């Protein structure tokens, strides 16, 4: 059994665990067992899922949990558990040790180890090949991205059409809010079969917390960060894009921040390529901002400047390896990563621009088409 040392075990729901989805391409809301033994993928499904699995799942063998359970019962076991079934299958194939994902549940790990098996957790990326995307995967990501750009365009149209009265923006007689713009984006996405779990439309100082979703009225002459990262309901591939606009006039500081972020992002475009170290890209942008006088650090108990990473991998998860941040991470051709520097100062507002790139041998291709402008 030459492959025995590389047996793989997962117990997860593919609707929430991207490694399980990657391995099976089959959406299941409840956890099930996956084994890879001697190169063969085996999944063990409940009565509820077994027939659908046979027609839809990418697996070499679909076994019935209840049928395996009956087998163990007739061998004398009273109430066979998932662990009993795993024990039975591993022994049957002469497997003594298995590799599991880093996020494998410790409660199952303990019980499997108690049966005498060796269990080796492997950190992300569990499937090394997952970080490098096939052309088909890049096509799926691009499809989600195009839909996302259409949804952002709808939001920009409404902002552009809005009337400025005093500090507020009005559209069809109604005051525009972060919530109303988020709803436009999310509904337009859903019309196109994409789901945004959270969409950020963060005005002014709210945008200085980069993960603040945003709430309340949108004001004129104020930065509005729109960060949209939905996935396709049919393929589960994500996209991720951020634009920052001002309805009305931006302050001089905001304009300088916008130019700096655009130039910082351009540093990323120049440096990102196969073999580049993500942390060097990140540091180069940090240093560029620093040189312009846009300092990063805590002021009055609050972080300001550029205090998040420059980018992250994206695919079946919105955040996956590699990272372009503080830690060394060598980029590979075919990875899809974001390039998203930002600057945040409570006295001016927040600016973030985010595009999606494919890493290539001699550079990168920007998948994002949406234009960049500040004042609308």
Closest approach, Cβ 51 to its own copies, in A, equals: 5
Token representation of residue 135: 């052309």
Q: Could you tell me whether strands 342-345 and 336-339 are parallel, antiparallel, or unpaired per DSSP bridges?
A: unpaired
Choice between 71 and 212, CB closer to its own copies: 212
Choice between 49 and 354, CB closer to its own copies: 49
Confirm or reject binding of residue 33 to its own copies (CB under 8 A): no
Confirm or reject binding of residue 116 to its own copies (CB under 8 A): no
Closest approach, Cβ 116 to its own copies, in A, equals: 17
Confirm or reject binding of residue 61 to its own copies (CB under 8 A): no
Confirm or reject binding of residue 74 to its own copies (CB under 8 A): no
> Among residues 97, 95, 119, which one has the least CA distance to residue 107?
119
Alpha-carbon torsion 337, 152, 169, 221, what sign?
positive
Confirm or reject binding of residue 180 to its own copies (CB under 8 A): no
Confirm or reject binding of residue 190 to its own copies (CB under 8 A): yes
Question: How far is Cα 320 from Cα 281, in angstroms, rounded to an integer?
Answer: 18
Cα dihedral 299, 301, 302, 304, rounded to 10, equals 20
Choice between 235 and 364, CB closer to its own copies: 235
Confirm or reject binding of residue 123 to its own copies (CB under 8 A): yes
Question: How far is Cα 162 from Cα 100, in angstroms, rounded to an integer?
Answer: 53
The residue range among 22-30, 83-91, 139-147, 169-177 that interacts with its own copies, by the rule CB under 8 A, is 22-30
Cis check: omega of the bond before 352, within 30 degrees of 0:
no
Closest approach, Cβ 20 to its own copies, in A, equals: 13
Q: Check if the beta carbon of residue 363 is closer than 8 Å to that of residue 335.
A: no
* 22, 32, 34, 104: residue in contact with its own copies (rule CB under 8 A): 104
Query: For the chain, what is the largest distance between any 2 Cα atoms, rounded to a whole number of angstroms?
Result: 79
Confirm or reject binding of residue 89 to its own copies (CB under 8 A): no
Helical H runs in 209-322?
Answer: 252-271, 278-291
**Residue numbers at the binding site for its own copies (CB under 8 A):** 15-16, 27-30, 47-52, 100, 102-110, 119, 121-123, 183, 186-187, 189-191, 193, 195-198, 209-213, 233, 302-303, 307-308, 318-319
């Amino acid at each position: 059994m030459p492959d025995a040392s590389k047996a793989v075990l997962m117990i997860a729901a593919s609707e929430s665990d991207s490694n399980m989805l990657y391995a099976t391409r089959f959406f299941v809301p409840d956890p099930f067992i996956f084994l890879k033994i001697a190169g063969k993928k085996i999944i063990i499904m409940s009565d509820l899922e077994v027939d659908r699995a046979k027609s839809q799942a990418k697996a070499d063998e679909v076994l019935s949990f209840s049928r395996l359970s009956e087998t163990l019962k007739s061998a004398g076991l009273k109430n066979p558990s998932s662990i009993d079934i795993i024990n039975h299958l591993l022994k049957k194939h002469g497997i003594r040790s298995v590799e599991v994902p880093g996020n494998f549940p410790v409660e199952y790990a303990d019980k499997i180890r108690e049966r005498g098996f060796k269990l080796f957790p492997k950190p992300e990326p569990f499937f090394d090949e997952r970080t490098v995307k096939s052309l088909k995967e890049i096509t799926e990501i691009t499809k989600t991205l195009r839909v996302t750009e259409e949804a952002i365009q709808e939001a920009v149209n409404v902002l552009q059409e809005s009337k400025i009265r005093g500090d507020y923006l009005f559209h069809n007689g109604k005051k525009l809010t972060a919530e109303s713009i988020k709803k436009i984006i999310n509904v337009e996405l859903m019309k196109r079969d994409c789901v945004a779990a959270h969409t950020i439309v963060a005005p002014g100082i709210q945008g200085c917390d980069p993960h603040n979703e945003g709430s309340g009225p949108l004001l004129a002459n104020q930065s509005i960060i729109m960060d949209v990262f939905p996935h396709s309901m049919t393929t589960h591939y994500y996209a991720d894009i951020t634009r920052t606009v001002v309805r009305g006039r931006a302050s001089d500081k905001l304009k300088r921040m916008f130019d700096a972020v655009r130039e910082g992002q351009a540093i990323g475009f120049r440096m990102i390529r196969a073999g580049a170290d993500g942390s060097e890209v990140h540091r180069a942008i940090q240093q560029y901002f620093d040189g312009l006088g846009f300092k990063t650090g805590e002021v009055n108990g609050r972080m300001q400047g550029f205090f998040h990473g420059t980018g992250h991998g994206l695919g079946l998860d919105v955040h996956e390896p590699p990272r372009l941040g503080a830690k060394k991470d060598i980029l590979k051709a075919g990875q899809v990563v974001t390039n998203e520097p930002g600057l945040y100062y409570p006295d001016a507002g927040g600016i973030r621009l985010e595009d999606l790139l494919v890493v290539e041998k001699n550079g990168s291709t920007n998948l994002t088409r949406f234009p960049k402008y500040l004042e609308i």
